[in-house]
Amino acid sequence: MCRNLGQSQIAKELLHTGSDLLERLLQETSFDDKKVQLSQRFASFSQLRVDSLANSQDIKDHIQSLELAEERKNICLTWLRDGWVDKLSDSPKYENIQELLDDYTATIYWHISPAAITTFILKYNHSPVILPVKAKLANFAYPATIRQLQDFEVWVDAWKRDYQKYCRRTREFNFQSDMKQEAWFREIALRLRHLSEILNIQEILPYLSNVKNLILVPHRDLHLLPLHALFPEELSIIYLPSAQIGLNLQSLNFNEKAPIVSIENPRSDLNFASIESEIISLFYSDSTKVVTKLATKNNVINALKE
């Protein structure tokens, strides 16, 4: 709020004070689970630091903003996998993230804070571009970033609510054709066009004029959405939770001839799952399949061992 009122120095001091208080609380907490809970509850401190750096006119601050956003994503992923860590020593810097790119590959990297949605556009041998948010004339009293975030929150709340209703009705009617008349299904295209407007996708496209491969790195609720549907179909698109995950995958040696375990819809509630599994299996010389009710935890573990 202080930042939006033009009181940037007060905002900076409050953010510094809050971050120091959180650091002291973490030092005084003995249990790792409690530390994770505290850090997640007050994640906005680091998120607002990303915003502050992104709002600078210095390209070095833009790079630092991206690196901080990447570090926080990797810390959160580490909490899910390994438990509490305070800091990471090996979160990638911008020159490392560039290893994911080439002349025909770009990355759209989002970061959501309590005050803004920041969109980084990353291209090979270029400094990161932070997409400016255009103000709407009808809402000139609000900062453009706040208005964009509010529009997105309203949009995603409606998407989740109607999707949950659609899922409940689908289970009740057992995939009958009239489910296509449900609001969520019927209005998907319209909703995605609205999302595209909120995220300013049309302003991103000029940066992708020579791009063939696009990496999408979502944040928070953006992970739940079919963001690839907002971009031209001719682009080859992949998702990554963070740039570090992509770098880790590059370092692995995949053996396409290795057998796989295919778990084929054990609850029998997914249309086309069996066909999809068969198609994927064609890429491998051999496969072990765990199907329907046989896909218990022990059976899957045993199949992986084989």
For residue 195, give every residue at least 6 positions away whose Cβ sits within 8 Å of its Cβ, in sequence order, or none: 152, 155, 225, 230
Question: What's the pLDDT score for residue 2?
Answer: 47
290 Cβ contact list (under 8 Å, min separation 6): 261, 262, 263, 264, 266, 299, 300, 303
The dihedrals phi and psi of 278, each to the nearest 5 degrees, come to: -65, -40
Smallest CA-to-CA distance from 106 within 203, 199, 201, 217 is with 217
Q: Which tens digit of pLDDT belongs to each residue from 181-209?
A: 677 778 899 999 999 999 999 999 999 99
CA-to-CA dists, residue 236 to 84, 193, 214, 215, angstroms? 36, 20, 6, 9
Tens digits of residue pLDDT in 77-104: 887 777 767 677 788 999 999 999 999 9
Q: What's the confidence (pLDDT) of residue 119? A: 97
- pLDDT score at 183: 73
In this prediction, residue 304 has a pLDDT band, given cuts at 50, 70 and 90, of confident
124-142 average pLDDT score = 77
Stronger pLDDT, 169 or 156, i.e. the higher one: 156
pLDDT of residue 77: 84
Query: Average model confidence (pLDDT) for the chain?
Result: 81
Radius of gyration, alpha carbons of the chain: 22
Q: What is the pLDDT of residues 193-252, one digit of tens each?
A: 999 999 999 999 999 999 999 999 999 999 999 999 999 999 999 999 999 999 998 887
**132 Cβ contact list (under 8 Å, min separation 6):** 203
Whether residue 279 is predicted with pLDDT greater than 60 in this model: the reply is yes
Q: What is the pLDDT of residues 13-65, one digit of tens each?
A: 555 565 555 466 556 566 667 656 656 665 666 778 898 899 889 999 999 99
The secondary structure of the chain, three-state, reads CCCCCCCHHHHHHHHHHHHHHHHHHHHHCCCHHHHHHHHHHCCHHHHHHHHHHHCCCCHHHHHHHHHHHHHHHHHHHHHHHHCCCCCCCCCCCHHHHHHHCECCEEEEEEEECCCCEEEEEEECCCCCEECCCCCCHHHCCCCHHHHHHHHHHHHHHHHHHHHHHHHHHHHHHCCCHHHHHCHHHHCHHHHHHHHHHHCCHHHHHHHHCCCCEEEEECCHHHHHCCHHHHCCCCCEEEECCCHHHHHHHHCCCCCCCCCEEEEECCCCCCCCHHHHHHHHHCCCCCEEEEEHHHCCHHHHHHHHHC
Percent of the chain's residues with pLDDT above 90: 43
pLDDT score at 100: 96
Answer whether residue 286 shows pLDDT above 50. yes
Close Cβ partners of 109 (under 8 Å, ≥ 6 residues apart): 66, 69, 70, 119, 120, 121, 122, 128, 217, 243
pTM, entire model: 0.77
